[in-house]
Amino acid sequence: MDQLKATLLSLLDWIGSSPFRLFAVVLLCILGFGGWIVYTEKDTFLATYRAQQALPKMNGRYDETYKFLLKNTNVELVSIMEVNTLINTRKIVYLATRNGGRDKTYDGLDVGLFSKNYDNNTDVIALMSGRIPCGPYLKPQSLIGFAYRENGVSYMCRISVPAEPGVFIGQISIGWKEQPDDVEAAQTALIIASMLLFKK
C-alpha cells in the first residue's frame, strides 16, 4: 500500500501543472483500460464474430424480386433490408420505385432493428413471429420512412426473409399510394418474393 501511495505521489509530482502531461496520463489510462477489456472479453468478441459469420445470408436476387413484386402487386415502392439480430441492425440494400426505378441514395443506411418507435417495434415483433404486417403508413417510423412518404406511400406490407419464425436475416417492405384491393394476394406475392431472396 505504501508503494502504491508513493507511486501515485511521484506521478502527481511529475504531472505538476502541465496540462499536456495530465492529458497524456489520462489518455494512457483510457487506452490501458480499453486494452484490458478487449483482452479479458476476447472470447466473447470472437464468439459474437463467429455467430455473425454463421448466419445465413440473402442470395442477392434483388432485381428479380423487385420485378416480380412490380408485376404481381402493382406496388409503388419496394425496399429490401439486410437484418442482423445479433447487433440490432437493418441496412437498406435495395430501394426502387415504380416510376423512378432503382434509387441507390439510401444503400447501406442502417435504420436499426428495435427503436423508440412503438409502431416499428410492433412490426419487428410481428416479422420475427413469421407474420406479414400490413396497414396504413401515415407517418415515418425511421429515417427511410421519410423516403417512403416522399414517394407518396400511405399503405405498406412487410415480410421477413425467410418468411418463418426464428430466422430473420432480411426484410422486404412494399408500399402503395392507397390500400390495394386485394391485400391477401399481395401477402402471397410477398411470401414468394421472400423465397426468391432466400433460396440458393
Q: Three cell numbers at 49?
A: 464474430
Specify the pLDDT at position 21.
Answer: 74
The amino acid that residue 22 corresponds to is L
Cα separation, 55 vs 49, whole angstroms:
10
Cα separation, 110 vs 93, whole angstroms:
10
* Other beta carbons within 10 Å of 106: 17
Q: What is the CATH number of domain 56-198?
A: 3.30.450.40
Q: Which residues of the chain have pLDDT under 50?
A: none
Cα separation, 34 vs 48, whole angstroms:
18
Q: Which of 78, 72, 80 is nearest to 99 (CA)?
A: 78
CA 188 to chain centre: 25
Cα separation, 192 vs 170, whole angstroms:
14
Over residues 82-112, the pLDDT tens digits come to 999 888 899 999 999 999 999 999 999 999 9
Cα separation, 116 vs 122, whole angstroms:
11
Over residues 39-57, the pLDDT tens digits come to 777 766 566 556 555 568 8
**Omega prior to 165 cis, within 30 of 0:** no
Specify the pLDDT at position 26.
Answer: 81
* Other beta carbons within 10 Å of 52: 11
Specify the pLDDT at position 66.
Answer: 97
